[in-house]
Amino acid sequence: MKFIVDEDLCIGCAACEEACPDVFQMSDDGEMAKVILDPVPEDLQDCAMTAEEECPVEAISHE
């Protein structure tokens, strides 16, 4: 499964990193999240889905 952060929507709240730090990390300037595992392995898909659900601006999607 592949997860994507829409950089135009992301507000840099870091909720996804808190929910699933193995998959999402804030950029060095802290302004947006990035996906650090592509594809996301099966054992991390549940936490990545939780991060997607908790994103306040629905900037995370998967395919």
Q: Give the binding site for ligand SF4 (CB under 6 A).
A: 5, 10-16, 32-33, 55, 57, 59-60
**In angstroms, what is the minimal distance from the CB of 4 to ligand SF4?**
10
**In angstroms, what is the minimal distance from the CB of 56 to ligand SF4?**
6
Cα 29 to Cα 47: distance, rounded to the nearest angstrom = 24
The label of the residue with tokens 């994507």 reads 4
Q: Which is nearer to ligand SF4, 8 or 42 (CB)?
A: 8
**In angstroms, what is the minimal distance from the CB of 31 to ligand SF4?**
9
Cα 28 to Cα 52: distance, rounded to the nearest angstrom = 21
